[in-house]
Structure 1
Amino acid sequence: MQTHPIRLLRITGLMDGISLLILLGIAMPLKYVWGFDKAVSIVGAIHGGIFILYAIAILYAAIRVKWSLLWPAAAMLAAFIPLANFILEWQLRKAQDKFTVKPFNYAVLVYSIVFFSFFDLFSQLPVMSTFATSVGATSFIAGFVIGIYSLSNTLGNIISGILTDKTGPFKILMAGLVLSSASLLLYHLVDQPAILIAVRIIHGFVAGLIVPAAFTFSANTTKQNQQGKKVANIGSFVGLAAVIGPAFSGIMASKTSVPAVFTFVAVLGFSLAVLAAIFLGKHEPMKKTEGNTSSVNGTFMNTGMLKAFGGAFFLMFSQGVIAYLLPLHVQELGYDSRMSGTLMSTFGIIAIIVFVLPTNRIFDRVAPSLTMGVGMGLMGISQLLISQSATTLALYSVLGLYGIGFAFLFPSINTMLIQSTPPELRGKAYGYFYAFFSLGVVAGSTVLGWLTLSIVQEFMCTGVVLLLFAVLFGWNRRKLAVNTQ
């Protein structure tokens, strides 16, 4: 008889909870009170291995069990809170018989691969600059190490898109998973800045292969009237990665090492590669559109495509501004630096809620240009309000509004891209689309740094730019709707 996926989750969850208590209650006192340094290294490595098993069990349960996505989200968060695993196990034991096991849902596996790709990205944020300086990099080289990843990732996105249209998304997806996971292990070889730069170039390039292929696979295996909702579901996994990734790497790096953190991420990637090889190869995406490809007039660049690219750029431009200015603004107001992290988590959690609630149906019922304009407009208003916010309540409220804007904009630009391209060009389209994502991050975090403006003025400048483009991208949506049907 097959073991229920929730039973596997409960068992691995208890193991993870016990190992966390041993790490915190025994190993850390042995190190910091009695000077036995190896205790944390040994127990930390064991706990890390168990955590990977637990993460795989969460992934397997999410794929096989018919339940709300809030359950796997709660299970992942429980791994970072002492005793939370035991409370979760108690709740799951009572609810287990209520959940039915369903056939393997390959769509959730695609979502999980997208989660891995963004989890890999977000787990680098808290540790990469300090890791660079630990191997002898100057402040300039440390910044270069972070930026070079995005540039090589952009090239990987473009090449992934081109190859996806030629060979199909499955092969590129498998190559990206295996090569990206292998590149994470290269950080163990880093002992000087030059080697770190080389590893970052390799890592950024091969990681760039995954997302365009994954989104193309998802788009080409989904019915036309369900694209928006499915993109919103994918967005919830991106949001989970944004919330969990930095916390995971920050905590694990403090207990083990940065290369060890990347090893854990690599194990997750290799596990997904195995699952993909078993299950995804059976699902070949459709080769032709469900109608006539003349809907895009036989051209690659059309109005909808350009709007999608522009939306991707300004979405991540805004993110880059938030990452650059928010910590400085919070510090200037006299708050603890930890508040910046909780504010960013707030926007991510609000975005996930919008993604998973029935509100995601709006992306299949309303023209994407309209929801795109609303999303970008809300993000622009949020940037303006951040500049005027000085209290804790105001900051959290504004970041919540920003999360709603993000949750509207991300599915809208993806839906617009899907509607504006036939399947045979969709890989190339997604390649350029995510190249604009990477360029937006770089632009948002660097362009404002060149301007001689105050923090408040930079927030206001960003808000005005977003509002102007919200009006521009939302304009003439009736004509776009006609052209993309």
Structure 2
Amino acid sequence: MQSHPIYVLRKTGLLDGISLLVLFCIAMPLKYIWGIDKAVSIIGSVHGVIFILYVLAILYAAMRVKWSLLWSVAALCAAFIPLGNFLLDGKLKNAQTKYHVKPFNHSLLVYSIVFFSFFDLFAQLPVMSTFATSMGASSFIAGFVIGLYSLSNTLGNILSGIMTDKVGPFRMLMVGLLLSSSALLLYHFVEEPNFLIIVRIIHGFVAGLIVPAAFTFSANSTLNNQQGQKVAFIGTFVGLAAIIGPAFSGIMASKTSVPSVFTYVSILGFALAILSAIFLSKYKPTKKEKDNDVISSSGSIFNAGVIKAFVGAFILMFSQGVIAYLLPLHVQTLGFDSKISGTLMSMFGIIAILVFVLPTNRIFDRVSPSITMAIGIAIMGLCQLLISQSTTILELYFVLGLYGVGFAFLFPSINTLLIKATPVDMRGKAYGYFYACFSLGVVAGSTVLGWLPFTIVHEFTITGIILLLCATFVVFNKQRDHDLIQ
């Protein structure tokens, strides 16, 4: 039983819990009471390494034990709560006798790679601007280096898509993981703004190689009538990264340093590269999976379904960019603490994850993706309008929770639409352009409205109207998804 994945998870979790208590109860008093700063730096670094090992243990258990994804979510949440690991250990000990080890799940490894890619992205959000200014960058340069990542990421997405179709998704996954993990280590050598700009361009570009290859690998190894549900599961890992990434980097950066945070993320990337080399290199789709995609390319990927998916991707991240830009300002104008913005975004992420994980995810294989796409855009547009009129915290929590439902409808829908409208031998290129639209949507949503001479309320209202018009357009121009499925 000592080799059981749950046993490994339990012991790693206890180590994580102990290191967290040492950090809070010993290292922090030594720093803030007795002025011994190195105590937090050393213990914080040790805790960071143990946390990465704990995350790997969670991923390993998820791949080898047939249990609910909620176990993995609970294990991750426990790492941020003092004594949480100890409380969870009793539950895991009982579970160890009930759940048996199953064959290796290749899909969960791909999910984990997607988690790493978005964890890398979201871990940058709370620390990059302050890191840039600490290097002597002006506020303009600080904002510039943040935007540079998304722009170079777009180029990486496109190149990854093209090369995925030529050399296969596995090779691009390996290249992306190794280069991205290596690029994260470059932050240790940054001492002035100009070199930081170069590192951001490199990091954004190589990080962009991962996601198109990962989604292509997943799509090519999934039966046609299960694509929507599987994409919803992938969305769960994106949501977890959105919740955990900022919290992890914010906490660890305050205890150690920003380059150290990126080192921990790098360790996770290298570990996933090793697992991929061991397990994914030998993976061959079954005959059913091979028969899943019998469509051959006719020369171009730009059919009506693909274009609609691209538009949906841009709209999704345009809306996200507006939320990221305007919500903190709106909360501030209402007189509330800026920390409320973070908890509001967590609310949206949690609700989205619940829709992804619960049986509600079956809707994405039973209802036309154009319909669920229109519903998702409409809900998000309505929420933009409601945010502009919300004046209390309770109202904002409700609206952001509803926004999470809209996000959870839209994300799997556009992915499913893309898969069903794309021939297998051109799917990598399609995903490359698809995630390029993601990156461009973020840039547009967070910058375009900033140039317009409107109030925050008016900008939320304009965004809401744009999204509702897009939803209406999707409904009235709904293509025959039945033909794509056939």
* AA in 2 matched with 1:254: S
TM-fit CA distance, 1:474: 2.6
TM-fit CA distance, 1:132: 0.2
Question: Following the alignment from structure 1 to structure 2, what is the Cα–Cα distance between the partners of residues 134 and 4?
Answer: 46
**Counterpart of 1:400?**
401
**Counterpart of 1:234?**
234
TM-fit CA distance, 1:46: 1.1
Question: Following the alignment from structure 2 to structure 1, what is the Cα–Cα distance between the partners of residues 162 and 244?
Answer: 31
Secondary structure (helix, strand or coil) at the match of 2:281 reads helix
Secondary structure (helix, strand or coil) at the match of 1:102 reads coil
**Counterpart of 1:277?**
277
Q: Is the 8 A contact 1:288 1:423 kept in 2?
A: no
* AA in 2 matched with 1:241: A
**Counterpart of 1:464?**
465
TM-fit CA distance, 1:92: 1.0
Q: What is the Cα-based RMSD across aligned positions, in Å?
A: 1.4
Q: Is the 8 A contact 1:135 1:192 kept in 2?
A: yes
Single out whichever of 158-167 and 468-477 deviates more from structure 2: 468-477
**Counterpart of 1:195?**
195
Give the 4+ runs in structure 1 shifted more than 6 A: 286-289
**Counterpart of 2:325?**
324
Per-residue CA deviations over 1:203-246 (Å, capped at 9, x if unaligned) read 00000000000000000010101100000000000000000000
* AA in 2 matched with 1:360: N
TM-fit CA distance, 1:292: 4.7
* AA in 2 matched with 1:414: N
**Counterpart of 1:204?**
204
Single out whichever of 81-90 and 341-350 deviates more from structure 2: 81-90
Question: Following the alignment from structure 1 to structure 2, what is the Cα–Cα distance between the partners of residues 326 and 36?
Answer: 38
Single out whichever of 41-50 and 204-213 deviates more from structure 2: 41-50
Secondary structure (helix, strand or coil) at the match of 1:282 reads coil
Question: Following the alignment from structure 1 to structure 2, what is the Cα–Cα distance between the partners of residues 138 and 462?
Answer: 30
Question: Following the alignment from structure 1 to structure 2, what is the Cα–Cα distance between the partners of residues 446 and 313?
Answer: 14
Question: Following the alignment from structure 1 to structure 2, what is the Cα–Cα distance between the partners of residues 107 and 474?
Answer: 33
Question: Following the alignment from structure 1 to structure 2, what is the Cα–Cα distance between the partners of residues 193 and 55?
Answer: 32
Question: Following the alignment from structure 1 to structure 2, what is the Cα–Cα distance between the partners of residues 355 and 3?
Answer: 31
**Counterpart of 2:382?**
381
Structure-1-length-normalised TM-score: 0.98
Question: Following the alignment from structure 1 to structure 2, what is the Cα–Cα distance between the partners of residues 325 and 180?
Answer: 30
**Counterpart of 2:220?**
220
TM-fit CA distance, 1:380: 0.4
**Counterpart of 1:260?**
260
Question: Following the alignment from structure 2 to structure 1, what is the Cα–Cα distance between the partners of residues 215 and 480?
Answer: 26
Please tell me whether residue 337 in structure 1 is matched to residue 367 in structure 2: no
TM-fit CA distance, 1:90: 1.6
**Counterpart of 1:53?**
53
Question: Following the alignment from structure 2 to structure 1, what is the Cα–Cα distance between the partners of residues 51 and 416?
Answer: 35
Q: Is the 8 A contact 1:63 1:108 kept in 2?
A: yes
**Counterpart of 1:3?**
3
Per-residue CA deviations over 1:334-353 (Å, capped at 9, x if unaligned) read 11111000000000000000
**Counterpart of 2:112?**
112
Question: Following the alignment from structure 2 to structure 1, what is the Cα–Cα distance between the partners of residues 300 and 158?
Answer: 18
**Counterpart of 2:305?**
304
Q: Is the 8 A contact 1:304 1:417 kept in 2?
A: yes
* AA in 1 matched with 2:36: F
Q: Is the 8 A contact 1:355 1:407 kept in 2?
A: yes
Query: 1:165-180, aligned counterparts within 5 Å?
Result: 165-180=165-180
Per-residue CA deviations over 1:50-77 (Å, capped at 9, x if unaligned) read 1111111111011111111111111111
Structure 1: segments with no counterpart, 5+ residues: none
Aligned residues: 484
Please tell me whether residue 353 in structure 1 is matched to residue 367 in structure 2: no
Q: Is the 8 A contact 1:17 1:83 kept in 2?
A: yes
* AA in 2 matched with 1:67: W
Single out whichever of 82-91 and 264-273 deviates more from structure 2: 82-91
**Counterpart of 1:475?**
476
Query: 1:47-196, aligned counterparts within 5 Å?
Result: 47-196=47-196
Secondary structure (helix, strand or coil) at the match of 1:421 reads coil
* AA in 1 matched with 2:483: V
Question: Following the alignment from structure 1 to structure 2, what is the Cα–Cα distance between the partners of residues 98 and 331?
Answer: 49
* AA in 2 matched with 1:290: N
% identity of equivalent residues: 72
Question: Following the alignment from structure 1 to structure 2, what is the Cα–Cα distance between the partners of residues 319 and 289?
Answer: 37
**Counterpart of 1:425?**
426
Question: Following the alignment from structure 1 to structure 2, what is the Cα–Cα distance between the partners of residues 171 and 478?
Answer: 35
Structure 2: segments with no counterpart, 5+ residues: none
**Counterpart of 1:409?**
410
TM-fit CA distance, 1:418: 0.2
Question: Following the alignment from structure 2 to structure 1, what is the Cα–Cα distance between the partners of residues 343 and 2?
Answer: 41
* AA in 1 matched with 2:247: A
* AA in 1 matched with 2:198: A
Q: Is the 8 A contact 1:288 1:422 kept in 2?
A: no
TM-fit CA distance, 1:49: 1.3
TM-fit CA distance, 1:285: 5.3
Q: Is the 8 A contact 1:289 1:422 kept in 2?
A: no
Secondary structure (helix, strand or coil) at the match of 2:90 reads helix
